[in-house]
Amino acid sequence: MSSSDSDHDRDHDRDRDLTSRSAAGLAAAVRSGEVSAREVVDAHLARIEALDGSVHAFLHVTADGARARADALDAQRRSDGPESLPPLAGVPVAVKDVLCTRGVPTTCGSRILEGWLPPYDATVVARLEASGAIAVGKANMDEFAMGSSTENSAFGPTHNPWDLGRVPGGSSGGSAAAVAAGFAPLALGTDTGGSIRQPAALCGVVGVKPTYGRVSRYGVVAFASSLDQVGPFARTVEDAALLLEAVWGHDPADSTSIPTPCEPILPGLERGVAGLRVGVVRELTEVDGIQPEVSAALEQAVKLLEQAGATLDSVSVPSAIYGLPAYYLIAPAEASSNLARFDGIRYGLRVVPGEPGSANAAAMNGATRHAGFGAEVKRRIMLGTYALSAGYYDAYYGQAQRVRTLIIRDFDRAYEHFDVLLSPTTPTTAFPLGDKVDDPLAMYLSDVCTIPTNLAGAAAMSIPAGLDGSGLPIGVQVLAPGLGEAVMFRVARALELGFGFAARARPGGPA
């Protein structure tokens, strides 16, 4: 073997080591001087370049900006010392393409915004930079976050790193796949009806939907404003807590932001679950089509928590069974309002039909939206517009909001007796690409276990719980009351230790 071959092998081994470390481990290594932030970024960019052609987790890779940011952090360490570095200094992060990034393309996975460069950063993106984390790219997603498989992206689907022939989940599939494939130890996504937790389960990573209002929505391109919430992806529970604590907190720019201080998560992460009361949600464990291995993983979770000292019992949230139909009236109704801004006039795509000077504004609006929006977005706009129309508002949208109130009350009653709740994250593991694209209802059922929490505005997260017989990841969901993230993370950490999955998990696709 030549010396150049030996050097190449050492570099490859070093890159593999760096891309397999946790965010906490990388931050500590950069702070101690074991590695530079530039070395960390270069290792992850090299992996993206080598493997993302088959995964397609990213729509845009910000290689130059990431390297410049890493060099600045390394210079800061040299001049001001390691204690000057922020907590996530040098840690690469993938950012879902629904979050505005100043001067960096933000498409929401849609042709109607292709090439748009926001003039400002979303609050969470600004807080990422303040934490020292380094954005390495914009992650692929279902168009305007409408989907459960990332097959609705106008720029092509993302593939699951565990099996490239299967979906990664959605709508934050690119973010989940980026973390699972080792492209970044952390990622940000959004969760409107399960769009963080469902892909986290299918990709074998941790995904968190915080309490509505805990993380700023300023700079998030809206889908359903009363449901959307930003949250983290990570390979470990600790890393997810690190990222959440970096971006959450009150933001005066977001009128729905909760003003009360956030209870820290990390100090109590290792407190265990002894004495906690955990309820297993009956309605979410008995959904149609649940995979036997998913049920078995939930049973194992129950045993692990009992062995760790928690008290487990079954609990009913009766109105949860109506979550899916209520959601698919409320969310499309809000989408039909939010997406009205994409009119071909203010920004993004503009299509002028006919001869120059012959078209009016209405014709231009229609032609732009016809060309720019995909089939699923059009379907939901039509559903939402119909639900809000005169003569149907009370029967559809109004009734759905009343169901939402029942769901909130039922969860509140459950939390009077339990500290957290437990359920599957998804009924099945990852399904083949193309398997459900022609059956919207089957696709929507992928979120049947996650949607109720969004309607309630509470917190929930998905934890990897092992693999099924085909080697595909299974997720278990921990649900908590509003502002209950600290105890939710304690339970998630106990499950992580019990399952022992995070320490050994590597995707079976890209190696």
225 is known as an active-site residue: no
In sign, the C-alpha dihedral spanning 261, 267, 271, 273 is positive
Among candidate residues 22, 36, 96, 336, the one labeled active-site is 96
209 is known as an active-site residue: no
E strand map for 350-449: 420-424
In sign, the C-alpha dihedral spanning 480, 483, 485, 486 is negative
Give residue 124's Cα distance to chain centre: 13
Query: From CA 172, how far away is CA 175, in angstroms rounded?
Result: 5
Among residues 347, 275, 346, the alpha carbon closest in space to that of 305 is found at: 275
Beta strand 473-480 with 230-234 is unpaired
Q: Write phi, then psi, for 341 (nearest 5 degrees).
A: -70, -20
Among candidate residues 195, 319, 423, 446, the one labeled active-site is 195
* Token reading at 71: 């060099």
* C-beta separation of 508 from 471 below 8 A: yes
Query: From CA 35, how far away is CA 357, in angstroms rounded?
Result: 61
* C-beta separation of 315 from 351 below 8 A: no
423 is known as an active-site residue: no
In sign, the C-alpha dihedral spanning 366, 434, 234, 207 is positive
Residue 67 is inside which H or E element, if any? helix 63-80
Strand pairing partners for 25?
none
Assign residue 457 a region (left: φ > 0; alpha: ψ between -120 and 50; beta: otherwise): left
What is the residue whose two structure tokens read 């700079």?
219
Among residues 475, 496, 478, the alpha carbon closest in space to that of 427 is found at: 475
* Token reading at 323: 């979550």
Among candidate residues 171, 175, 336, 462, the one labeled active-site is 171
Query: From CA 391, how far away is CA 397, in angstroms rounded?
Result: 11
Active site residues: 96, 171, 195
